Chain A
Amino acid sequence: MPETSYDLIVLGGGPGGYVAAIRAAQLGLKTALVEREHLGGICLNWGCIPTKALLRSAEISHILHHLDQFGFSATDIRYDAGKVVARSRAVAKQLSNGVAYLLRKNKVQVFDGHGRLAGKNRLAVAKNSKPVTELAAPHIILATGARARSLPGLEPDGQQVWTYKEAMVPSAIPKSLLVVGSGAIGIEFASFYRDMGAEVTVVEVLDRVLPVEDEEISAFARKSFEKQGIKIHTGATVKALERTGDQVTAHIEAGDKASEIAVEKVILAVGIVGNVEEIGLENTAVKVERTHVVVDEWLRTGEPGIYAIGDLVGPPWLAHKASHEGIICVEHIAGVNDVHPLDIHNIPACTYCRPQVASVGLTERGARDAGYDVRVGHFPFIGNGKAIALGEPEGMVKTVFDSKTGELLGAHMIGAEVTELIQGYTIAKTLETTEADLIRTIFPHPTISETMHEAVLDAYGRAIHF
């Protein structure tokens, strides 16, 4: 029987929780982690990782259908949807096992079950509604994550109307698909299914796709998606879903115009809500606002000894943000010197559609609204040798500087491999570099990263290759 008394208990084994637990163990805290389903959480099992595996298949599909430009030809290109999904599941499984190993290696005690706060400094663990054990620790971190939001009239049924979870394990690629919501999750599925051959329609309530991104990036992305054959309705809402045999008829309203579309499947991607239920918050001073737990800069809730991190505490709903919060929270608990709160402007965000989108910091509009006098730089992939050689000339980089201080306020990228590049700007922002340091930095040739340099140069009227 494992011990029940710990220095720290983490509830939830996602990218926030397991990283927090490992860091706590590194700092010498006796640590327990409670997870009800699988280690690695949504990110690793039903989110970031398996979708990347699927999108890799989609990318290969795209290349196979454009072999001619690289001097190849092939006939009878076919895929097995079962194998595509199986590979995605295998990747998730491998990494989940990896997390279990890491926790073991760091001597984090893992409890399989559902955790619930049970009085001061106590957490009860149950499996299939049967009590397993009760744990005690002076510090408890809640990292229970979030789940897909559903809207009235648009409830998923798991058969024809999917959430991300069903969309990740299709038995076959549908001929036609409606994606409701054009945030990162919706757009990634739209991109995947389109590259796998489905007719895809996207409905977005706001006036542009990827609405949290810079307006120019949204416009660029929309143009690119439409060129690929994705139909996009913005400023539109799905009023009702009517199931008729094998089809779902969606009633769409855009302004005063109503239309109907019949599709095989629907994916709902209209935001997420925090998992604040069934974890025993009722008799605590933990404050919940709009399904998210309210915390301070050190991730403390209103209840002493109770902390919350990750998706549970609100946007941006990103795994790396959760991990980072976990580390800050634990280091602060352990009294580590030199711990600094998270700066929301330095959290990069990536969307793995084709073309990829990545950004960090303020959009141009956000910067102007915040009162900055901005300097903006642009650089298109068409001016970059490596992008052209790769056959990926579609893309651009945009930088936003404070014209007074030269602070890099934001960077926005769309195009091949930009998700791997955004860290360069993130480092720059974290170190508080100005345009002077970026201009002086030598970027290797030939790489797509040169577009990042040029976009900085352009903001100061000095772009070389455009």
Chain B
Amino acid sequence: MPIEVLMPALSPTMTEGNLAKWLKREGDEVHSGDVLAEIETDKATMEVEAVDDGRVGKILVPEGTQGVKVNQPIALLLGEGEDSSALANVASPAPSAAATAVATATATSAPLSSTASPPDPSAAAPRTRGNGHDRRIFTSPLARRMAQQAGLDLAAITGSGPQGRIVKSDIEAAILAARQPAAAPSPPRAAAVAPSIPAAPALTPTSPTLSSKEHVLALAGNPPYIERPLNAMRRVIARRLTEAKQTVPHFYLTIDCEIDELLKIRAELNSRSEAYRISVNDFVIRATALALRQVPAANASWSDEAILQWDTVDIAVAVALDDGLITPIVKQADRKGLAMIANETKDLAARARAGKLKLEEFQGGTFSISNLGMFGVREFAAVINPPHGGILAVGAGEQRPVVKNGVLAVATVMSCTLSCDHRVVDGAVGAQFLAAFKKLVEDPLTMLL
């Protein structure tokens, strides 16, 4: 039997991606580890590697296809000794893709027999094959079919059956949860499910009718326009940030930091070696990390059961891309020196712009920083990137008049605004963090310790 290569899930929340490019053609020999294709996901371009040796028998999803569902077969590999006649035994790709495809697949789900037997979902069990994310999901056949019919992602459902197997009652609970309005307090099980079903209309934060193209055109009075298609990243940005603004109670604290001393030390450090080039932002990252260490209550996330105060300080740094933004993470930033942070951020940003970040390099983090200083923005308030408890918005360092001991003077001042999730960080905690941050930034030698 030919081996099905399935669309991999490169992140737990990924439900679909774009097939950017095939690196192998039909008939090509492949060996385990060879890169078969590039997948454009939420935030980056990822490579799909072969896990088996063989030959590409058939490419089922042509390159450039948008919105390929996770676990949909994208190609068939022929094993040793198999020729292309083996492909005839494989059902046409559309019905088998129904294994994990959501409601939209119903139109294509005519099985081989003429009876009304629904397509057999167990034939293509939800098992990712392609790049090592090979997590088997234990589920009863009935639960699998019900999840398919309801358009639920099994990977996001917690099983309550024997050994954690997903059973009928889990799917019923998930369906019930998906029907509840997003604002209603959801039971724990529902909470586990909710983020995974962006396709369920009830959970989509923006009402499809209000923001439908038709409606928007009508509201705008039908002026001429060009249409820029939504890529996966744009959809994720829209969904996550809408969700953040609607569900996270934001408040904002702004502080001014004088950075003349910081700029002096930066110039000095950069003149010492060619091995690094430290930016103001690198100082900000280090100061933020150390301040979070001093005020650990600000390095925390909200959950329905408890506030989770993180042991590590992983700083997500927003990087602008041509068509969106991405937040690569400087892990354990409090334990890294300025030179190390500088080199790491430079590398991460370069690879982010090339779309080559690995999943673990941009997923997670405990706190974010967004810096628009280089664009001359004096100060701004950023949207929290859940589940982070806060995000620091960094403005431009500019010369401003300041009053010191009753005397007017000139100093280079950088305004920073902290957006806090009030469920986690209260005003006083946010203020303590900013005070610690300011002290570090204004006395940068302490940052070098």
Identify the stretch in A144-152, A380-388, A434-442 within 8 Å (CB) of chain B at 4 or more residues: A434-442
Identify the stretch in B35-43, B55-63, B160-168 within 8 Å (CB) of chain A at 4 or more residues: B160-168
Q: Does B324 reach chain A (CB closer than 8 Å)?
A: no
- Asked if A434 contacts B142 (CB within 8 A), the reply is yes
A432-B168, A460-B117, A462-B115 in contact; A405/B122 too (CB < 8 A)? no
The CA-CA distance from A437 to B118 in the complex, in Å, is 12
Q: How many A-B residue pairs have CB under 8 A?
A: 49
Q: Does B146 reach chain A (CB closer than 8 Å)?
A: yes
Q: Does B140 reach chain A (CB closer than 8 Å)?
A: yes
Q: Does A407 reach chain B (CB closer than 8 Å)?
A: yes
Q: Does B443 reach chain A (CB closer than 8 Å)?
A: no
Task: Find chain A residues with CB under 8 A from B121 CB.
Answer: 436
The CA-CA distance from A231 to B402 in the complex, in Å, is 109
Which residues, 117 to 163 on B, are CB-close (under 8 Å) to A?
Answer: 117-118, 120-122, 140-143, 145-146, 149, 160-163
Q: Does B113 reach chain A (CB closer than 8 Å)?
A: yes
The CA-CA distance from A404 to B117 in the complex, in Å, is 10
Q: Does A97 reach chain B (CB closer than 8 Å)?
A: no
- Asked if B162 contacts A432 (CB within 8 A), the reply is no
- Asked if B141 contacts A436 (CB within 8 A), the reply is yes
- Asked if B117 contacts A436 (CB within 8 A), the reply is yes
Q: Does A98 reach chain B (CB closer than 8 Å)?
A: no
The CA-CA distance from A431 to B145 in the complex, in Å, is 13
Closest chain B CB from A428 CB (angstroms): 10
Name which residue of chain A comes closest to B121, CB basis.
A436
- Asked if B149 contacts A405 (CB within 8 A), the reply is yes
Which residues, 444 to 466 on A, are CB-close (under 8 Å) to B?
Answer: 460-462
- Asked if B140 contacts A460 (CB within 8 A), the reply is no
- Asked if A433 contacts B113 (CB within 8 A), the reply is no
Question: Could you say which of A340, A406, A461 contacts B118, with CB atoms under 8 Å apart?
Answer: A406
Task: Find chain A residues with CB under 8 A from B140 CB.
Answer: 431-433
Task: Find chain B residues with CB under 8 A from A340 CB.
Answer: 160-162
A405-B146, A460-B117, A462-B113 in contact; A433/B163 too (CB < 8 A)? no
Q: Does A338 reach chain B (CB closer than 8 Å)?
A: yes
Task: Find chain A residues with CB under 8 A from B160 CB.
Answer: 340
The CA-CA distance from A433 to B145 in the complex, in Å, is 10
- Asked if A434 contacts B141 (CB within 8 A), the reply is yes
Task: Find chain B residues with CB under 8 A from A437 CB.
Answer: 122, 141
Task: Find chain A residues with CB under 8 A from B116 CB.
Answer: 403, 460-461
Interface on chain A toward B: helix, strand, loop, or mixed SS? loop
- Asked if A432 contacts B115 (CB within 8 A), the reply is no
- Asked if B142 contacts A405 (CB within 8 A), the reply is yes
Number of interface residues of A (CB under 8 A): 18
Closest chain A CB from B158 CB (angstroms): 14
The CA-CA distance from A439 to B119 in the complex, in Å, is 13
Scoring A residues 81 to 96 as 1 if CB is less than 8 Å from chain B, else 0, what string do you get?
0000000000000000
Task: Find chain A residues with CB under 8 A from B146 CB.
Answer: 405
- Asked if B168 contacts A407 (CB within 8 A), the reply is yes
- Asked if B115 contacts A460 (CB within 8 A), the reply is yes
Closest chain B CB from A254 CB (angstroms): 43
Closest chain A CB from B218 CB (angstroms): 38
Task: Find chain B residues with CB under 8 A from A405 CB.
Answer: 142, 145-146, 149
Question: Could you say which of A436, A461, A462 contacts B122, with CB atoms under 8 Å apart?
Answer: A436
- Asked if A432 contacts B113 (CB within 8 A), the reply is no
- Asked if A435 contacts B117 (CB within 8 A), the reply is yes
Name which residue of chain A comes closest to B161, CB basis.
A340
Task: Find chain B residues with CB under 8 A from A407 CB.
Answer: 142, 168
Closest chain B CB from A433 CB (angstroms): 5
The CA-CA distance from A431 to B143 in the complex, in Å, is 10
Name which residue of chain A comes closest to B139, CB basis.
A432
- Asked if B149 contacts A404 (CB within 8 A), the reply is yes
The CA-CA distance from A432 to B160 in the complex, in Å, is 13
The CA-CA distance from A461 to B141 in the complex, in Å, is 21
- Asked if B117 contacts A432 (CB within 8 A), the reply is no
Question: Could you say which of A338, A403, A432, A439 contacts B163, with CB atoms under 8 Å apart?
Answer: A338
Question: Could you say which of B115, B120, B161, B167 contacts A436, with CB atoms under 8 Å apart?
Answer: B120
The CA-CA distance from A460 to B140 in the complex, in Å, is 21
Name which residue of chain B comes closest to A436, CB basis.
B120
Scoring B residues 92 to 128 as 1 if CB is less than 8 Å from chain A, else 0, what string do you get?
0000000000000000000001011110111000000
Which interface residue of B115, B120, B141 has the most chain A CB atoms within 10 A?
Answer: B141
Task: Find chain B residues with CB under 8 A from A461 CB.
Answer: 115-116
Task: Find chain A residues with CB under 8 A from B143 CB.
Answer: 432
The CA-CA distance from A436 to B145 in the complex, in Å, is 10
Task: Find chain B residues with CB under 8 A from A462 CB.
Answer: 113, 115
The CA-CA distance from A135 to B141 in the complex, in Å, is 48
Which interface residue of A405, A407, A462 has the most chain B CB atoms within 10 A?
Answer: A405
Scoring B residues 162 to 182 as 1 if CB is less than 8 Å from chain A, else 0, what string do you get?
110001100000000000000
Task: Find chain A residues with CB under 8 A from B120 CB.
Answer: 436
A405-B145, A432-B140, A433-B140 in contact; A338/B122 too (CB < 8 A)? no
Task: Find chain A residues with CB under 8 A from B168 CB.
Answer: 407, 432
Task: Find chain B residues with CB under 8 A from A432 CB.
Answer: 140-143, 167-168
The CA-CA distance from A340 to B159 in the complex, in Å, is 12
Closest chain A CB from B170 CB (angstroms): 11
Which interface residue of B116, B121, B146 has the most chain A CB atoms within 10 A?
Answer: B146
Closest chain B CB from A18 CB (angstroms): 25
Task: Find chain A residues with CB under 8 A from B145 CB.
Answer: 405-406, 434, 436
Closest chain B CB from A439 CB (angstroms): 8
- Asked if B117 contacts A433 (CB within 8 A), the reply is no
Name which residue of chain B comes closest to A408, CB basis.
B142
The CA-CA distance from A387 to B103 in the complex, in Å, is 45
Closest chain B CB from A407 CB (angstroms): 5
The CA-CA distance from A409 to B170 in the complex, in Å, is 18
Which residues, 379 to 415 on A, are CB-close (under 8 Å) to B?
Answer: 403-407
The CA-CA distance from A432 to B162 in the complex, in Å, is 12
A432-B168, A437-B122 in contact; A406/B142 too (CB < 8 A)? yes
Name which residue of chain B comes closest to A431, CB basis.
B140
- Asked if B162 contacts A338 (CB within 8 A), the reply is yes
18 example contacts (A-B, Cβ-Cβ < 8 A) are as follows: A403-B116, A405-B142, A405-B146, A405-B149, A406-B118, A407-B142, A432-B141, A432-B143, A432-B167, A433-B141, A433-B142, A434-B142, A436-B118, A436-B122, A436-B145, A439-B117, A461-B115, A462-B115
Name 14 extra pairs, CB < 8 A, besides A406-B145, A432-B167. Answer: A340-B162, A404-B149, A407-B168, A431-B140, A432-B141, A433-B142, A434-B141, A434-B142, A434-B145, A436-B141, A437-B122, A437-B141, A460-B117, A462-B115
Closest 8 CB pairs of A and B: A432-B140, A432-B142, A436-B120, A461-B115, A434-B141, A433-B141, A407-B142, A460-B117
